Amino acid sequence: SALKGLSKIVVDETRVIEEVEKNPQVIAEAIQTILRRENVEKAYEQLRELTRGKKVTMNDFYKFIDGLDISDGVKVKLKQITPKNYTGIAKLLVEI
């Protein structure tokens, strides 16, 4: 059955972490949410311009964050978001 097959799956955690870290654009959602909370105009559009069709790095995000007109405290919090520690709504989905 499907459940028996699923029980045989083994996750290569090292590989998963490597893949996530190679794709930092996954944190754009978290950054956008915080920017909207901080009333940054066109947060979505700014992040779309940064990420769409481009291979972005964490340094690209750091430069973007440094250029924002927000408090230093919020900038620090934004820079603490990483692909490795950002899970979005995954925890909620697992609990459904």
Domains of the chain from N-terminus onward: 2-95 (1.10.40.30)
Q: How many CA atoms lie within 13 A of 17 on its CB side?
A: 5
For residues 24 and 78, the answer to whether their CB atoms sit within 8 Å is no
For the entire predicted model, the pTM comes to: 0.77
Distance CA 17, CA 26 (A): 13
Give the model confidence (pLDDT) of 33-77 as tens digits.
Answer: 999 999 999 999 999 999 999 999 999 999 999 999 999 999 999
The pLDDT assigned to 1 comes to 74
The pLDDT assigned to 20 comes to 84
Look up residue 26 and give its two tokens.
């996954």
The pLDDT assigned to 42 comes to 96
pLDDT at position 30 over 80:
yes
